[in-house]
Amino acid sequence: MQSGDKQKILYLCGTKIHPATTGGFLHTTGIARTLARAGHEVCLYSFAGRAEDYRLRGPRRETIAVEPNLYEDVHLGLGIGLLQSANRRLGYPRRWQYEMLRRGRVPNRLKQALSQASLVLADSAFVPPVPGPRQDTPWILVSHNLEHRLLEQGSPPERRSAAWMRRVEAAAPQTFHDIFACTEEDQAFFRQHDSSGSRKLPIVGSGVDAAAYASPPGTREQMRAELGLGDEDSLLIFGGSKSWQNLDALERLQAHAADQADFIRRRRIHFLLLGSIADQPYREGPFIATGRVGEVAPFFAASDAGINPVMKGSGANTKIYEYMAARLPVVSTPFGMRGSNLNPDEDYLPYEDGPGLRAALERLLHERDRTQWHAFADALWQRESARCDIGEMVRRAFAQLPELGV
């Protein structure tokens, strides 16, 4: 990245980012790391922690050193924690958080960080500009998806907030200096509501840091041995958080696996559920769940393909770019590929929700051997990396906003 003077960049987030357990968190982390590696001082300020972070007698703040020039400052005030917990249990979106930030009712530490920042990134439309000093500081909204589209598909309380969120997102082009869109869909929405027509709306898609998925020689063999898998076993990885979109997808995948139980058993096919989509590690039939893990690269190295059975949601699926960066062929529903530039059959193995999964698995097993699939996936990454590498996308986005001097 061509950068000017070193800047103090504040990345304001609704909840704790590290360790990254969702596609949205990976997106945020990738943007922050790119800026830090360009020499800027980047603070991820998280307005609230996760459930496990709160202790009645614990600290009200946690600071996490992520890498040089990048740290996360997590506010752990009990009042905000209780508000967050209650709303999650009742199925309400973070409207309360939006109202607190919009009205400037924020911790003193955040006020201090805002007064020192030369640029503020807002991690979703739930994080509006905060009134206070330095009103000339540019605010950039980072869109991971159209939040109102997700709310429309959510719980009854979420659906009731969808119209409100649509108004918030429609006002965003007038509220923010500019917006980093995630897909052409949200870019078109924001452009439609940009009354001035002056916003650049560069796309920073759900890309990944490719280096995070590289493993040293021998990792594949070691991890497969730990998982109890031999060379004759085929392992498809499904990475995801415990979001309702992923849980719905997992339920569908489990139903399809049950319908094709004899075929899957005979062909020695296994599905690796990576991440917090499962609370605890378990093994049941063809499914191997890891629970949360500290390092993901060895599990990608052990896998033969990535599968994306997602049928609901908004924005793009980061897991697709994780599979590509790990040089894995992709098996996916067409909906799961939304936001990508990939073509069915040519770039990935498509399947329609239902019995089509078996045909896609047959193709995976017979069209190429593992070495050939790896070469295929490597060629695909080389072709698409400019659209999948988060660092490249961030550099291009800021190049469209030279007035920021980043």
Integer Cα distance of 159 and 120 in angstroms = 30
Integer Cα distance of 249 and 244 in angstroms = 8
Quickly tell me which residue has 């190049």 as its tokens. 399
In this predicted model, what pLDDT tens digit does every residue of 147-187 receive, in sequence order?
A: 999 899 888 999 999 999 999 999 999 999 999 999 888 99
In the prediction, which pLDDT does 2 show?
42
Contacts 24+ apart (CB under 8 A), 210-216: 210/325, 210/381, 210/385, 210/388, 210/389, 212/296, 212/297, 212/325, 213/296, 213/297, 213/300, 213/322, 213/325, 213/326, 214/297, 215/297, 215/298, 215/300, 215/301
CB atoms within 10 A of CB 244: 15
Identify the CA nearest to 335 among candidates 124, 148, 149.
149
Q: Do the bridges between strand 61-67 and strand 70-75 make them parallel or antiparallel, or are there none, so unpaired? A: antiparallel
CATH superfamily of domain region 211-386:
Glycogen Phosphorylase B; (3.40.50.2000)
Integer Cα distance of 228 and 47 in angstroms = 42
In the prediction, which pLDDT does 3 show?
47
Burial class (CB in 10 A: 0-12, 13-18, 19+), 49: buried
Is the predicted pLDDT of residue 243 greater than 90, yes or no?
Answer: no
In the prediction, which pLDDT does 241 show?
83
DSSP per residue, 138-151? -EEEE-SS-HHHHH
In the prediction, which pLDDT does 205 show?
86
Integer Cα distance of 7 and 69 in angstroms = 11
DSSP state of 403: G
In this predicted model, what pLDDT tens digit does every residue of 274-333 receive, in sequence order?
A: 988 998 999 999 999 999 887 899 999 999 999 999 988 766 678 999 999 999 999 999
Integer Cα distance of 194 and 29 in angstroms = 28
In the prediction, which pLDDT does 79 show?
86
Integer Cα distance of 58 and 83 in angstroms = 17
In this predicted model, what pLDDT tens digit does every residue of 249-286 receive, in sequence order?
A: 999 999 999 999 999 999 999 999 998 899 899 999 99
- Sequence-distant (6+) residues with CB within 8 A of 65 are 71
Asked if 257 and 360 count as a contact pair (C-beta separation under 8 A), the reply is: no
Integer Cα distance of 17 and 73 in angstroms = 10
In the prediction, which pLDDT does 129 show?
94
Integer Cα distance of 364 and 330 in angstroms = 9
In the prediction, which pLDDT does 314 show?
67
- Sequence-distant (6+) residues with CB within 8 A of 217 are none
Give me the mean pLDDT over the 333-338 stretch. 89
Q: Please determine whether the domains at 8-207+389-404 and 211-386 fall in the same fold group of CATH.
A: yes
pLDDT band at 145 (very low <50, low <70, confident <90, very high): confident
In this predicted model, what pLDDT tens digit does every residue of 13-33 receive, in sequence order?
A: 999 998 877 778 888 999 999
Between the alpha carbon of residue 153 and those of residues 148, 150, 312, 389, the distances in Å are 9, 5, 8, 29
Is the predicted pLDDT of residue 1 greater than 80, yes or no?
Answer: no
- Sequence-distant (6+) residues with CB within 8 A of 137 are 114, 117, 118, 119, 120
- Tell me the domain boundaries of the chain: 8-207+389-404, 211-386
**How far, in whole angstroms, is CA 363 from its chain's centroid?**
29
Q: What is the pTM of this model?
A: 0.80
Integer Cα distance of 321 and 318 in angstroms = 5
Give the ranges where 270-369 is alpha helix by DSSP (H): 297-302, 318-325, 356-366
In this predicted model, what pLDDT tens digit does every residue of 77-95 receive, in sequence order?
A: 888 888 888 888 888 889 9
In this predicted model, what pLDDT tens digit does every residue of 28-78 receive, in sequence order?
A: 999 999 999 999 999 999 999 887 788 755 677 889 999 999 999 999 888
Identify the CA nearest to 219 among candidates 324, 271, 297, 306.
297
In this predicted model, what pLDDT tens digit does every residue of 97-106 receive, in sequence order?
A: 999 999 999 9
Strand partners, 70: 42, 67
Identify the CA nearest to 237 among candidates 273, 266, 198.
273
Q: Which CATH number applies to 8-207+389-404? A: 3.40.50.2000
CB atoms within 10 A of CB 371: 8
